[in-house]
Amino acid sequence: MSITKEEKNKICLNLVKQMHQYIIDIGDEDIYDIWIRDGVPDCPSEEDFEDFAYDPVAFTELCTLFGQLCQNKEE
């Protein structure tokens, strides 16, 4: 089963928003500082989220950063 480009974009957009909210919710200022410096900007607009979600390279890089930050949180 395949999905349309619009469905893929919607899934990616949802994931970007969820990753951002998770980083906020963990409440670690050091991790949040890295996130807003190297990933999603502070107080992102819908367009900011879409820029990451709709660009495959930016999305992959953001997911990698998210994974690294989550791993750092557990250490």
User: How do residues 17-55 score in pLDDT, each as one tens digit?
Assistant: 999 999 999 999 999 999 999 999 999 999 999 999 999
Per-residue pLDDT at 28: 94
More confident residue, 31 or 73: 31
Cβ partners under 8 Å of residue 65, min gap 6: 34, 35, 38, 39
State how many domains the chain has.
Answer: 1
Domain of residue 20: give its range: 5-74
Sign of the alpha-carbon dihedral angle for 50, 53, 56, 58: positive
